[in-house]
Structures are given as structure tokens and as C-alpha cells.
Amino acid sequence: MVNAAKPKDSDYVSPNDGGCWFCCRKGDDEYGAMLFDSEFDTYLHESCLRRELKDNPQNGEAQVMKYLIE
Ligand SMILES: [Zn+2]
């Protein structure tokens, strides 16, 4: 199945290994600074969280993490 949003395998980092919960990439780069959420014990990009809240406000995980940017 083709999914254009899927990162290249070489870029993929599991959230368990410090990758972003939403995009599975690691590091502060063009995707923005990383935040740490203690609810899910995961790192995530601020930009990814903001995008998720905007594009998919029904996402319960994003709603739980919303406190990080408020
Ligand atoms: Zn991300």
C-alpha cells in the first residue's frame, strides 16, 4: 500500500526510541523542536502536534498532548 506521508525507512525512528509520536522522525530540525509528553512517555514535535490538532482535531492522543503547547 502506498502512503506518501510515510517517512523513508532510513528516517523512521520508533516513538519508543525517541522518535516523534506523530511523524516517527527524530531530532530538532525543519520539523521543529521536540517536546516530551509524560502521558504517553513519548517525544513529539511541537509542529506535528499543532498540525494534528488543526487537521485532525478528533485525535484523542493529540487532545491529551495539547497541554504541552498551551
Ligand atoms: Zn514529528
CA of 31 to the centre of ligand 1 (A): 6
Question: Are the C-beta atoms of 35 and 49 separated by less than 8 Å?
Answer: yes
pLDDT tens digit sequence for 25-36 = 988 766 567 999
CA of 4 to the centre of ligand 1 (A): 15
Query: In this structure, is residue 37 part of a structural domain?
Result: yes
Domain range for 46: 11-69
Phi and psi torsions of 15, nearest 5°? -55, -30
32 or 53: whose pLDDT is higher?
A: 53
Query: In this structure, is residue 33 part of a structural domain?
Result: yes
Q: pTM for this one?
A: 0.79
Residues 47-70, mean pLDDT to the nearest whole number:
96
4 or 61: whose pLDDT is higher?
A: 61
Here the cell at position 23 is 511523524
Task: Residue count of the chain, please give it.
Answer: 70
Query: In this structure, is residue 1 part of a structural domain?
Result: no
Query: In this structure, is residue 5 part of a structural domain?
Result: no
> What pLDDT score does 28 carry?
74
Distance separating alpha carbons of residues 42 and 57, to the nearest angstrom: 19
